[in-house]
Amino acid sequence: MRGSGSSESDATRTPPSPLPVPRFVGAIDQGTTSSRFLIFDQHGAVVARSQLEFQQYYPEPGWHEHDPLELVASVEHCINAAVVDFEAQGHAAADIGAVGITNQRETTVVWDWTTGEPLHRALVWTDTRCAELVRKLKWRLGSADVTRLCGLPLSTYPSAAKLLWLLAHVPRVRDAYDAGRLAFGTVDAWLVYKLNGGLARNVLVTDPTNASRTMFMGLDALDYDDRLLDFFRLDRAKLHLPTIVRSSHPHAYGALASTVLKGAPITACLGDQSAALLGQKGFAPGTAKNTYGTGCFLLYNCGPRPVTSTHGLATTVAYDLGPAARMYALEGSIAVAGSSVKFISDNFGFVESPDRIGALAETVDDNGGVVFVTAFSGLFAPYWVDDARGTLFGLTAHTQKGHVARATLEATCFQTKAILDAMEKDSGHALTELAVDGGMCTSDLTMQTQADVIGIPVSRPAMAETTALGAAMAAGLAVGMWKSLTELEDVNTEGRTVFKPQIDQEKRDYMVGRWEKAVAMSRGWLSVPYQVYKVNGTVKNAAALAGTGGVSGVATFTGPSAVTYDFGKNVAGIVSFTTGAVDGPGEAIGFGFSESSLYISSEGSDATELVGIDELLWFPVSAGTFIAADKAHERGGFRYLSLYHNTSGSTDVTNLTVHFTAIPQVADDELGKYTGYFHCDDDKVNRVWYAGAYTCELCTIDPTAGNALPLLGTSFPPGQRAPLPWYVNYTITDGTSALVDGAKRDRLVWPGDMSIALPTIAVSTYYMDAVANSLTSLVTLQNASGALPYAGVPFYAMQGYLFSFTYHCYSLIAIYDHYLWTGDVDFLTANWAPFVRGLNFALTFVDSTGLADVSGSWADWLRNYMGGHNIEANAILYYTLTLGLELAALRNDSSQVASWTSHAATIKSVANTRLWDASANLYRDNDSLPLTSLHPQDGNAWAVLANLTLSPAQATQVSSALMARWGPFGPPAPEAGATVSPFISGFELQAHYVAGHGAAAVQLVRSMWADFLLDDARMTNSTLMEGYSTDGSLHYAPYADDARVSFAHGWASGPTSVLTMRAAGLQVRAAGGRLWRVAPDLAGLAGAVRAGFATRVGRFACAAAAAPDGSGYAFNFTTPPGTTGSVGVVRAAAARHVTICGGGLAAPRTEVVPAGGPGERFVLDGLSGGDYQVVVVDGGGVPSCDGRIVVANR
């Protein structure tokens, strides 16, 4: 049966004689904390039952395990005990004619197929140990298709990641897999296997409701999908997978081989939530149930076809009973429901047992302002945030135990509301009543609260054992105890209690609004994710504040002592903690921050001022106090957080958390959701793309949290290292978000950085409002002459209104780029006059040579003195003129066209006459005498990407000469000393693609950005730094203090947009994508490349792959309807052919692509928006569209 994937087991092909119709059926209900066996009669009434709790194993924080053999033993015990009770009532064991199984679902069991013995304890569905593995899976090529195929999001919840973790970390499991001996299943498959006698019969089956929770089964076929197994890199031939059979079947599940019911057939198997839907009679599309158990699970019957959720829900199989149509469901899962009640009982000691919490909650009239987000295992649907943490809000001196108890019960009600809202959006149908079951629903207060929160009646059955009842129904249907679902409609209907809403909509909105704010906070509070970095002095249990234990663990600081924690990535926000016992006078705890391990110091944090380091934050402490930094001391970027204790006493610290404050404009349910993506077969390149996007997220801040610069311009003695005060409380723009150049510093608006960060944002997150706010803040400072500021407030005024020619042009480029990516005509109209004034002001620097003389404008990106006719300045001015001409045509403004056209032509001609150095195949920095030997990186990169070069051959010469200068840590920027500038190297990347050297650009991404900027141990492993030395030391020549350098700088994110626009070839040409070009360049990248993004116009996507034999390449792409565009094909040394199909083309279109040099493209234009395939082949053959690659829609 290894991986057979057949729809029925071999045993069903020649079925035995029909089973006799029984009077009673049994149901095994194997749950997360206990096993039960219930016996039902023909009316659905419980005749006998038995329950047994079993041991829970928590080897480490976030880990949750069960012993597979204990699960089986507990089931067998319950069967025997229930039958004793059953027989005591005068019945015979033989009267139980069938047994159904319902079970906890995603819990993962592995065993040796040759011995039948478990190879590891089962990983329970709540286990989160594989969080890091899931993060990597989300970056893997093809991840975008997984949810579409199997219905589940990539998370720690389903079985797939748990199996991969076992294979990676448990040698016995890996050895069995490699030898083809590994059997895998969810709990149902394990129980069926063992209850049938294990090796004696080797019955290995499962049903679709359980198989759908593995992520290996395709929803449409109800069979294992090779595309999913390939994604998880599992070899089907090495893995014994259970055969998938109908949920209700008279023979497929075998029969009990042990217990007093030996020989009784097992005739049904369903995951617990599907069984509960059946037990609640959720037979028709549009019906739903909510089960309040250890977790909480809401299933909505969406009918015989799966509905793909776009609002954070899972799509799963409701049941497949046969011969009736299979049914699908939308599911919302809450990780912590009943277990939160147990937490209050066991950890806080508020009540002596969990069943007393309702009485405690009823001692108060409301929650007293307390909100409890019970995210102990992260937040499940519809949020899906693994790093959310359980958090209590609204505690005051008047808070009572009853308020906390009430807030605990309400937490499940509010999360249910969020799931129902998502279901309504996905299904287009609003429920009129919610059926409920499970342990928590016995609380009248909880169910009344639930009705109040969701605004519809809540219906609770008299007999709450609906999960077991569903399994019994399916078992009974298989043997004819009931003939059809219609016959079951009246089962368990009498005695229902209905709770109707008792509050108005205004109060409901207020309550839900407070909950959503609390959820947003819980999502931003990150406990330290990895182990302690280092400890000094006496700190007991320092690791208790790291990892999942950081929520509730306690560390004790005694005497002078310190701990540095490593977040594993750059983070941002407000740090807080809670004290426990405090012993001694004058106790205090201090915080220190550092982006790099190099600058961890007990004297202070890394630096934000020009000289000196930043002060530590010190907090006097007393016992049992919550302490948080004030908003003026949120830290914009740090990987390392140090806690210091400098007195002789001791202090207990718990709940060390950080409230994430970057991207403040993003709604809580949108955090982590990018509008763009990029995937190739090189994980290094993928990581760089996402690191650029994340860097710009950290550089998007609350506009009221800019650097205050309290000491800017202050003179300090040479070698100043004394800690200095620091604040982030200056308002730098209007609006709710602002794009700044650095996360830690400068938290100010700089137009140069925007030239790289704006396209990064456009192809990844599309936070264009933040861009507009920052850009507007610069335009507002334009003076009467037309000059735009070097930087925004407060730097602009504090530095005497310093002017930079290049940064002036960068502001104008940003106005163009904003329109290019948004098509926002109103914004362009408002800024057109400032653009014209600004460009004409720049032209006042042009002298009689026809070039701009920038001798008086030394300020730039901190390169050295620019000189008179500087190549960088003139190349950027030329580029800005070409953009101005585009905008003038769009605006129908011809008043400047003649002047701008003439200036552009002159600059191009004269720059190549006066500044080109043929002996170096590079442009000189300037033409001042004596002629300089400096050939700057910035001016040469800009000359190529601005098309200042006179021919493609000249662009290729410049590109080759720049490549020849590369050092082991990246390209040098000699105009700034011994410096590597990720900012200018971002322009060089573009230049290499323009020059036809795409493979070189990819190699630079790998070696500089991946190997050094991400993987060097001194870096953040997540964001991209401002600059460093050519020898690899983290010294940035323009700064006297190395600790000042920023490790999250938007100007370093160049690869993100370059890979999307050049490698994947998705290019916006005008008006937010109303005009586009798709021109992939696969040089340097093996395998497939996929990318996509969305603008206001719609979604753009492309998937490209080279032919395996190197004879060409093919790509599919999608562009929005109502747009127009073109396709660009790489020209090769010999002629090639291209065929394009799809879209609005009536028939395939084939063209000959003439031979050409590096960087040259053959363009097919006149295309309308739509889905296309393009095939390019070398030689004389005519290509056809043969579907060789998959359309790249996400």
Is residue 516 domain-shared with residue 529, that is, in the same domain? no
Residue 1188 CA, distance from chain mean position: 30
Identify the pLDDT of residue 4: 37
In this structure, the answer to whether residues 904 and 1017 fall within a common structural domain is: yes
Residues 1131 and 990 grouped into a single domain: no
Q: Rounded mean pLDDT of the chain?
A: 90
Q: Are residues 517 and 529 in the same domain?
A: no
3-class secondary structure, 1178: strand
For residues 802 and 818, state if they share a domain: yes
CA 195 to chain centre: 41
Report H helices in 729-767. 751-764
Is residue 710 included in any domain, yes or no? yes
Cα of 463 vs its chain's centroid, Å: 42
Q: How far apart are CA 706 and CA 738, in angstroms?
A: 9
Q: Write the CA distances from 207 to 122, 146, 811, integer angstroms.
A: 19, 20, 61
In a domain, 488, yes or no: no
Q: What is the pLDDT of residue 683?
A: 86
Report CA-CA distances (Å) from 948 to 873, 905, 997.
Answer: 12, 10, 18
Q: Report, as ranges of residue numbers, the positions in the chain whose pLDDT lies below 50.
A: 1-14, 525, 529, 548-552, 1187-1194
653, 578 contact by CB (below 8 A) = yes
- Which residue type, as a one-letter code, is found at position 946? A
Contacts of 194 (CB under 8 A, 6+ apart): 72, 116
CATH code for the domain in which residue 609 is found: 2.60.120.260
**Amino acid found at 1175:** V
CA distance 719 to 709: 20
Looking at residue 1188, what is its pLDDT?
40
Check whether residue 230 and residue 273 sit in a common domain. yes
Q: Tell me the helices (H) and strands (E) count for the chain, helix number first.
A: 28, 47
Q: Does a structural domain hold residue 1185? A: no
Tell me what pLDDT residue 223 has: 94
Q: Within a domain: residue 699?
A: yes
Residue 285 lies in a domain: no
In-domain check, residue 1158: yes
- Are 393 and 518 a contacting pair, CB within 8 Å? yes
CA angle 518, 520, 523 (to 5 degrees): 110
Alpha helices in 823-870, H assignment, sequence order: 825-843
Q: In whole angstroms, what is the distance from residue 545 CA to residue 480 CA?
A: 58
What string of DSSP letters covers 436-468? EESGGGG-HHHHHHHHHHHSS-EEE-SS--HHH
| Three-class secondary structure of residue 279 per DSSP | helix
- CB 739, CB 749: distance < 8 Å: yes
The answer on 1043 and 941 residing in a single domain is yes
How far is it, in rounded angstroms, from Cα 536 to Cα 523? 31
**What is the full DSSP assignment across 931-1000?**
PP----HHHHHHHHHTT-SSSHHHHHHHHHHHHHT-BTTB---TBTBSEE-HHHHHHHHHHHHHTT-HHH
Same domain, yes or no: 534 and 518: no
Residue 832's CATH number? 1.50.10.10
Last residue of a domain, one of 280, 315, 334: 280
Rounded CA separation 905/909 (Å): 6
What is the spatial distance between Cα 839 and Cα 880, in angstroms, rounded to a whole number?
8
User: Per the domain annotation, does 301 fall within a domain?
Assistant: yes
Structure tokens at 1089: 């490349």
> Residue 36's closest CA among 113, 99, 124?
99
- Same domain for 682 and 790, yes or no, is yes
Q: Which of 991, 1023, 1058 lies at the terminal end of a domain, its last residue?
A: 1058
Angle at 768 between CA 766 and CA 771, to 5 degrees: 135
The predicted structure's pLDDT at residue 17: 62
Q: Read off the amino acid at residue 192.
A: V
Instruction: Specify the residue for token string 């020209």.
Output: 1131
Q: Which of 475, 470, 433 is nearest to 451 (CA)?
A: 433
| Residues near 631 by beta carbon (within 8 Å), at least 6 away in sequence | 574, 705, 729
CA pair distance 778, 749, nearest whole angstrom: 8
Length of the chain: 1194
Helix (H) or strand (E) holding 591: strand 588-594
Q: Does one domain contain both 532 and 515? A: no
Please list the helix, strand and coil fractions of the chain in percent, rounded to the nearest 5, in that order. Answer: 35, 25, 40
Query: Are the CB atoms for 336 and 376 separated by under 8 Å?
Result: yes
Q: For 69-98, how does the pLDDT look when each residue is reduced to its tens digit (9 = 90+)?
A: 999 999 999 999 999 999 999 999 999 999
Which structure tokens are listed for 308? 């793909």
d(CA 239, CA 241): 6
297 and 269, same structural domain? no
Which residue segment(s) compose the domain that 925 sits in?
A: 668-714+727-1058
Which three-class secondary structure state does DSSP give residue 105? coil
- 1024 CA to centre of own chain: 18
What pLDDT score was predicted for residue 141?
Answer: 65
Please indicate, yes or no, whether the overall pTM of this predicted structure exceeds 0.75: no
Q: What is the pLDDT of residue 800?
A: 67
What are the backbone dihedrals phi and psi of residue 854, each rounded to the nearest 5 degrees, phi first?
-110, 30
- Token pair, residue 88, equals 């005591």
CB atoms within 10 A of CB 18: 10
Please state, for a pLDDT cut of 70, what percent of the chain lies above it: 94
Q: How far apart are CA 742 and CA 748, in angstroms?
A: 8
pLDDT of residue 550: 42
Helix (H, G, I), strand (E, B) or coil at 810: helix
The pLDDT, as a whole number, for residue 968 is: 96
CB within 8 Å of 792: residues ≥ 6 apart: 732, 733, 748, 749, 750, 774, 777, 778, 781
Q: Would you state the pLDDT for residue 9?
A: 37
Sequence-distant (≥ 6) Cβ neighbours of residue 498 within 8 angstroms: 433, 457, 458, 459, 460
- What's the token pair of residue 1127? 């396709």
Distance CA 782, CA 776 (A): 10
End residue of a domain, out of 1006, 1037, 1058: 1058
Which CATH number belongs to the domain containing residue 321 in this structure? 3.30.420.40
| CA–CA dist 409, 440 (Å, integer) | 8
Number of domains in the chain: 5
Query: What tokens appear for 572 in the block?
Result: 């941002």
Does any domain span residue 481?
no
Q: Do residues 174 and 248 both lie within one domain?
A: yes
- What does the pLDDT read at residue 427? 81
